[in-house]
Amino acid sequence: MINLEWMAWTAPTATFFITIGVILSAMTTWQLIAPSPPRRGFLPLTTTPGDRLFIGLLSSAYVHLGWLGFTDFSIWFALGISVIWLIVLMRWG
């Protein structure tokens, strides 16, 4: 018999995944209605808004992992840093 362990879905976990889904849906809709040409910002490559969103989400995950690994401060500070970073990256990246 196979024993499957199931993830316990808490409200913060569900909120996180729902938020990511809403962001991806909004970006897809936005790009279908008004496609954005690739542009070059402070990143050393030409990116589309979807590329910058992916880079922002991935780097935010690393910020959170680093925050948990190297500090004892509240994780809410990492969330604030990540949100600010994502806004900067989407606007000027």
pLDDT in tens, 41-56: 998 999 999 899 999 9
What pTM did the predictor assign?
0.79
Residue range 59-88: mean pLDDT, rounded: 92
H-assigned helices in the chain: 11-33, 49-70, 75-92
Residue range 4-31: mean pLDDT, rounded: 84
Q: Which of 87, 85, 88, 93 is nearest to 36 (CA)?
A: 93
